[in-house]
Structure 1
Amino acid sequence: MDLLRFITAGSVDDGKSTLIGRLLYDSKSILTDQLEAIERASKSRNDGSIDLALLTDGLRSEREQGITIDVAYRYFQTPKRKFIIVDAPGHIQYTRNMVTGASNCQLAIVLVDARLGVVEQTRRHSLIASLLGIPHLVVAINKMDLVGYSQDVYSDICIHYADLAKKLNAHQVTYIPMSALNGDNVVDRSTSMPWYEGPTLLDHLETVAIDDEADGEPRDHHPARFPVQYVIRPQTAELHDYRGYAGKITSGIFRKGDAITVLPSGATSTIDAIEVAEKHLDEAVTPQSVVLHLATDIDISRGDLIVRSERLPVTSQTVEAMLCWMDTKELKAGSKYMLQVGTFRTRCSVREIAYQLNIETYEQIEGVDNLKLNDMAKVVLRTAQPISFDPYPKNRTTGGAILIDETSNVTVGALMLMGEV
């Protein structure tokens, strides 16, 4: 059974937590003790109904404010598919949380309040989903019950968002009118909107194709990449000459006998054996965790990247990247940070802010000297050591990186590496 990881995003009070609660409740994915707990917590409601948002708004501060602050994860499954739900914060102050939550998702649900239409946070979250290369977008037009289930309202929002999607070059967009509060078109088809002939949200989640990445290429057709996490040298009497390189295959496929290159050194060898739980395999594919054995002894350490020699990644010390700034302290051109790509770390400096993206218009603003919290921009980095990566649009796993403040060890920026300069 395959797994779909998806994120829900939208403005404050668009109904994200209620939507997830409804999805879990109507698909019968709530345990009895969980249901009893939210029933007790909902006793203060005047109408006596169950507050389904409490399934995800677990923090006390979130319940008091009625907003989602942290990223919440929920797991459920149907007979057709397993799911991981990532509930992202709606408030602009917590946009950075969405970036971290969405980085591994295959689908994004962008909620739109039918009364308000497309707003700034809709644009912001859609831009982030686009930059992160999430292949599938669902525009969930919620609270249709508050606009009389009007087809005209639904159509107007679809037209407005379609213009937005065109600017973002988003192709796989699905529009679903719904009322999460009443359960319309979430799991069960609505009788209040007979004019809508598309799938319910759960129908779409169960059937959407997830084998392909954003570039349309299956994962196992991607160039083979293996970031080394640990070098295994037992040096015991029984395993005196044992040398294995442990890690997780982040893309592609490795086979016994493949010619490989170790980056950034450029040393070459062949795969002598592939080991999983003390068993030897002829091949291994993403996302397996394995131990690789090479035919020759090479100086390899944590952070090195093992790749098949016929498809090498970009290796450079000067790179362009799209950046989402995640710190309250401003970023200024010339600032120095620690850059982490996979398991590899090196110091770097922000040589230039090429342009900042205007969230409202998606226009490029040049001449910017600093970035504030949640700003998005294209930057040029200069690294102390060469880094090896694939452009993010081609490979999300090896093209993603983070900036770390060395003084506080806090992650201050999320990066999508685009290419060398």
Structure 2
Amino acid sequence: MADQTIQDGVNALIAEDIDAYLDVHEHKDMLRFLTCGSVDDGKSTLIGRLLYESHLVFDDHLAALEADSRRVGTQGGDLDFALLVDGLSAEREQGITIDVAYRFFSTERRKFIVADTPGHEQYTRNMVTGASNADAAVILVDARKGLLTQTRRHSYLVSLLGIEHVIVAINKLDLVDYSQEICNDIEAGYRELASELGIDDVTCIPISALKGDNIITASPNTPWYGGPTLLQHLETVELADRGTRSPFRMPVQWVNRPNLDFRGFSGLIVGGDIAVGDPIRALPSGKRSTVTEITTFDGPLDRAVAGQSVTIVLDDEIDVSRGDVLCTDADPPTIADQFEAHIVWMQEEELLPGRPYLLKLGATTVGATLSPPKHTVDVNTLQHLAAKTLGLNEIGVCTITTDRAIPFDPYEVNRDMGGFILIDRLTNATVGAGMLQFALRRSQNVHWQALDVTAESRGTLKGHGASVLWLTGLSGSGKSTIANRVEAQLHAQGVHTFLLDGDNVRHGLNHDLGFTDADRVENIRRIAEVTRLMADAGLVVLVSFISPFRAERQLARERAGEGRFVEIFVDTPLAEAEARDVKGLYAKARRGDLKNFTGIDSPYEAPDDPEVHIDTLAMSPDEAADVIVQRLRESGTIS
């Protein structure tokens, strides 16, 4: 019995130690960092070394690593630690990293998530993705090559994305006989670059990722270096914690209503702290309330801080929805609908200024259009260059206009309140990422003026409704002829109309626009705004434009207003349109004398589901006009 009592006591102590051990490791802080540098500077090798030294490589993986290292013939029979990280077959074949690989490892002092980002310039978007949540950056420099163009590029991106802590790992020292002079020259050059970019916290560490020098323990090969090893520095670097330095911010991700007796607002606190009893404001509505309860999965809290996911209960039933922001009443974020922002373009298809995109900021998604760039940034030289658009991996400064005002903080103040992505409205593909810098003054000073005479009252005066009849189709399809017949019929019936024809408008309002994709987008954007104003005036507006892109026709539909837009597809096969080529445009395009001609070297995106489909091979212009007028009668626009 005594022996059993002793054993029970030992078991209890062991269990207590295990619980304490698990508790310590569960609550260790987390450092997110990325590695970047030129191609073949040793990024993947460095991460593989860290995983190996942290004892996170299982025996079967280690055996495979040894076999793979023998197969590729590593220098001196060393393990090729890059093979632990470069998972894509294309990477292994080329010996480079082309995607962002995330890895987790842990030490006694801290947990880590590391992003191994690609070095090629054409993968800038991948690096931006990896850096978006990083607290620190390890920039590798090959000691044999020194600072390269890629070093400048990656350092600029690190600065742009607001990463405060930079570690310059001067790698491959074993290949330069552990030269102190080479390391000193590289460090001096980098500190000059960092000063130019405004990077204040720079630590330079001489290493050999392959041999393990100064990675985990101090190397006897560098007696002249007295600083920390790479791991020691990563374990002690101060976490970048902008959240606690900024006022309270919590984007609402979910309105939590499990029953009629509970209504809370759930989300991640991205700035500051909040306590029960604190006054609070909901934006963009500006409604005020007081916090009565803060709950989490583990139970109620008296106070919550940045980084915690919570549900906040208020003392009254103010209107709060997903995407709204709960903030401190004394220091709210700015609300605006026009901004200056840095944009990183991530799509093969170039940015089209004026095209409607979706902008997602936290839990908020709004419509947005971008102006032509004020300039692009050559990330290799840091020069500002003139540009009309942005291509894949290019970075520029643009003006963004959203379709409604949203709360935000500048990115440098709060990443979560200032960082956004751009989404293609039709494909839902992410096409860009950006950082809001500041609101434009006009967004605060220009307001919509309320008027006494409304669109409805103008329609009553005219005796019919307003509508936008949008005829789209190839050049030569018969749009203008049909639109002219429709207007003649309506005019004879006393309907107030106006016809906007593509060629006619280009003589005046749009005389400054050409036929590039970007100019076509701007052409339709302007016409969409004009048609909205004319429809508000109570007119039936006929629009005869090729309008080749679905996105711009969707923009015109939204501008026209609910129930006022009729898309009419004047469907004519290309061969038939060419046969009718009274202007000789197709012939010029075929000869190469007329560039960017729709149907030849510029695409036409046919409507997916138009309200009216006119098959010009099956009906005459007069018959087509009758169909369109009948549509107006059926909708109640005219009698």
TM range (shorter): over 0.9
Query: 1:264 Cα deviation (Å)?
Result: 1.2
- Give the alignment partner of residue 435 of structure 2, picking from 413, 416, 421: 416
In structure 1, distance between residues paired with 2:29 and 2:319: 38
SS of corresponding position for 1:110: strand
SS of corresponding position for 2:71: coil
SS of corresponding position for 2:253: strand
Deviation digits for residues 217-273 of structure 1 (CA, Å, limit 9, x no counterpart): xx3242111111111223xxxx32321211111111111121111111111111121
In structure 1, distance between residues paired with 2:272 and 2:304: 9
Where structure 1 has 5 or more consecutive residues not aligned to the other structure, the ranges are: 214-218
Q: Which amino acid aligns with 1:390?
A: D
Give yes or no for the alignment of 1:21 onto 2:21: no
What are the equivalent positions in structure 2 for 1:57-96 lying under 5 Å apart? 57-96=86-125
Query: 1:42 Cα deviation (Å)?
Result: 2.5
Q: Contact 1:27/1:187 (CA < 8 Å) preserved in 2?
A: no
In structure 2, distance between residues paired with 1:228 and 1:22: 41
In structure 1, distance between residues paired with 2:188 and 2:129: 30
Q: Contact 1:114/1:147 (CA < 8 Å) preserved in 2?
A: yes
Deviation digits for residues 350-383 of structure 1 (CA, Å, limit 9, x no counterpart): 0241221122332222x31111111111111010
In structure 1, distance between residues paired with 2:124 and 2:213: 28
In structure 1, distance between residues paired with 2:421 and 2:384: 22
- Give the alignment partner of residue 3 of structure 1, picking from 16, 20, 30: 30
Aligned to 2:512: none
Aligned to 2:72: 45
Q: Contact 2:34/2:136 (CA < 8 Å) preserved in 1?
A: yes
What are the equivalent positions in structure 2 for 1:278-317 lying under 5 Å apart? 279-317=299-337
In structure 2, distance between residues paired with 1:420 and 1:53: 44
Q: Contact 1:5/1:106 (CA < 8 Å) preserved in 2?
A: yes
- Give the alignment partner of residue 238 of structure 2, picking from 209, 232, 240: 209
Q: Contact 1:130/1:170 (CA < 8 Å) preserved in 2?
A: yes
Q: Which amino acid aligns with 1:375?
A: E
Q: Which amino acid aligns with 1:93?
A: Q
Q: Which amino acid aligns with 1:72?
A: A
In structure 1, distance between residues paired with 2:264 and 2:101: 37
Name the count of aligned residue pairs: 411
- Give the alignment partner of residue 387 of structure 1, picking from 394, 406, 409: 406
More helix by share: 2
Give yes or no for the alignment of 1:378 onto 2:397: yes
In structure 1, distance between residues paired with 2:37 and 2:381: 18
Identity, % of aligned positions? 50
Aligned to 1:353: 373
Q: Which amino acid aligns with 2:336?
A: S
Q: Which amino acid aligns with 1:226?
A: M
In structure 2, distance between residues paired with 1:9 and 1:40: 27
Where structure 2 has 5 or more consecutive residues not aligned to the other structure, the ranges are: 1-27, 441-639
In structure 1, distance between residues paired with 2:90 and 2:381: 33
Q: Contact 1:260/1:308 (CA < 8 Å) preserved in 2?
A: yes
Q: Which amino acid aligns with 1:118?
A: L
SS of corresponding position for 1:394: coil
241-250 or 96-105: bigger deviation: 241-250
Deviation digits for residues 68-100 of structure 1 (CA, Å, limit 9, x no counterpart): 122111111111111111111112221111111
Aligned to 2:261: 241
- Give the alignment partner of residue 425 of structure 2, picking from 385, 389, 406: 406
Q: Contact 1:304/1:344 (CA < 8 Å) preserved in 2?
A: yes
Q: Which amino acid aligns with 1:227?
A: P
After TM superposition, the score normalised by the length of structure 2 is 0.62
19-28 or 407-416: bigger deviation: 19-28
Q: Contact 1:314/1:419 (CA < 8 Å) preserved in 2?
A: no
- Give the alignment partner of residue 183 of structure 2, picking from 154, 157, 164: 154
Give yes or no for the alignment of 1:220 onto 2:244: yes
Query: 1:115 Cα deviation (Å)?
Result: 1.6
Query: 1:278 Cα deviation (Å)?
Result: 7.2
Q: Contact 2:137/2:158 (CA < 8 Å) preserved in 1?
A: yes
271-280 or 202-211: bigger deviation: 271-280
Q: Contact 1:110/1:139 (CA < 8 Å) preserved in 2?
A: yes
Give yes or no for the alignment of 1:178 onto 2:207: yes
In structure 1, distance between residues paired with 2:426 and 2:46: 40
Deviation digits for residues 174-233 of structure 1 (CA, Å, limit 9, x no counterpart): 1111111111111122222222222111111111111544xxxxx324211111111122
SS of corresponding position for 1:360: coil
Aligned to 1:34: 61
Report the aligned-residue RMSD.
Answer: 1.6
- Give the alignment partner of residue 155 of structure 2, picking from 112, 118, 126: 126
Deviation digits for residues 36-76 of structure 1 (CA, Å, limit 9, x no counterpart): 23223323133543211111111222111211122111111
Query: 1:316 Cα deviation (Å)?
Result: 0.3
Query: 1:336 Cα deviation (Å)?
Result: 2.3
In structure 2, distance between residues paired with 1:278 and 1:93: 45
In structure 1, distance between residues paired with 2:438 and 2:161: 15
Give yes or no for the alignment of 1:194 onto 2:223: yes
In structure 2, distance between residues paired with 1:207 and 1:21: 21
SS of corresponding position for 2:233: helix
Give yes or no for the alignment of 1:113 onto 2:133: no
After TM superposition, the score normalised by the length of structure 1 is 0.94
Larger RCO (CA under 8 A, 6+ residues apart): 1
In structure 2, distance between residues paired with 1:222 and 1:187: 35
Aligned to 1:216: none
SS of corresponding position for 2:433: strand
SS of corresponding position for 1:193: coil
More strand by share: 1
